[in-house]
A and B are shown apart, each in its own frame.
Chain A
Amino acid sequence: MAIDLLYFAWIREAIGRDGETVDLPDGVKTVAMLIDWLAERGGGYTEAFVDRSRLRVAVDQEFAGLDASLAGVREIALFPPVTGG
């Protein structure tokens, strides 16, 4: 299953790109599993996801938890806690 990933703020800087499309391996069923899978790539990915407590997620443009399912999802955004206003 192909899924679009978007990265913002220091997650984007650590990874070195603002997004990508990936083909999910069969066993990857939640956002947390997706992050584990990405972190295994090493380098900036590992660095970006080292502290999960500082990670926030949107699933198809809605804020979600790390336990959110990836079933039928088209877009996942990974970013730090927001700091607007």
Chain B
Amino acid sequence: MTPDIRVQHEAFDPGVECARLEIDNVGAVASFTGLVRGEGGLAALTLEHYPAMTEDALRRIAEDAAGRWSLAGLTVIHRVGRMTPGDRIVFVGAASRHRGDAIDAMHFVIDWLKTDAPFWKREEFADGRSSWVEAREGDITQKKRWA
């Protein structure tokens, strides 16, 4: 199983991505879709990344997941560039024979992606303010439970 890793400006369709994971002998597909939250007067979110490193970092996380759980397919899509509330930012989909592997692998990948992939978010607000999102301590705690 080779994970399907994509870093792109373009939007993606979670339905299409989930259906693509319904391959032979798969009994379960688990997916996560992250969206731009429009709270606090947020007008736009810009995702910056480290192009030479991003795909490798995502691949490493995906391969780590593939080594821990029995997976038939794993898709990780992360968008970069400017997005507005309601837009989809990130997708993780995992396929396996039984549900446990797909659910745990999907959860693991999104937790690790938060702390181990070189992306940075900048928020723009309707009133003209703009600021970089601060990393959350909770994301580190969340990741550590997979140790």
A binds B: yes
- Which residues on A are within 8 Å of B, measured CB to CB? 6, 8-10, 58, 61, 63, 75, 77, 79-85
Among A6, A81, A83, find the residue whose CB has the most chain B CB atoms closer than 10 A: A83
> Which one of A9, A83, A84 contacts B78 once the chains associate, using CB atoms below 8 Å?
A84
Q: Which of B88-105 contact A (CB under 8 A)?
A: 89-90
Structural contact, A82 and B53, CB atoms closer than 8 A: no
Structural contact, A10 and B132, CB atoms closer than 8 A: yes
From known contacts A84-B90, A85-B34, infer whether A77 and B116 are also in contact, taking CB-CB under 8 Å.
no
Is B64's beta carbon under 8 Å from chain A?
Answer: no
- Which residues on B are within 8 Å of A, measured CB to CB? 34, 47-50, 52-53, 56, 78, 89-90, 110, 113-122, 132-135, 139
Chain B residues in 8 Å Cβ range of A83: 114, 119-121, 132-135
Among A9, A63, A79, A80, find the residue whose CB has the most chain B CB atoms closer than 10 A: A9
- What's the least CB distance linking B115 to chain A, in Å? 7
Structural contact, A82 and B34, CB atoms closer than 8 A: no
Structural contact, B52 and A61, CB atoms closer than 8 A: yes
| Contacts beyond the supplied A9-B120, A85-B34, A85-B78: 15 A-B pairs with Cβ under 8 Å | A6-B50, A8-B48, A8-B118, A58-B50, A58-B118, A61-B50, A79-B118, A82-B114, A82-B116, A82-B119, A82-B120, A82-B135, A83-B114, A84-B113, A85-B114
- What's the least CB distance linking B135 to chain A, in Å? 3
Structural contact, A81 and B135, CB atoms closer than 8 A: yes
- What's the least CB distance linking B65 to chain A, in Å? 15
Among B116, B118, B132, find the residue whose CB has the most chain A CB atoms closer than 10 A: B118
From known contacts A61-B56, A80-B120, infer whether A85 and B50 are also in contact, taking CB-CB under 8 Å.
no
Structural contact, B132 and A80, CB atoms closer than 8 A: yes
- What's the least CB distance linking A55 to chain B, in Å? 12
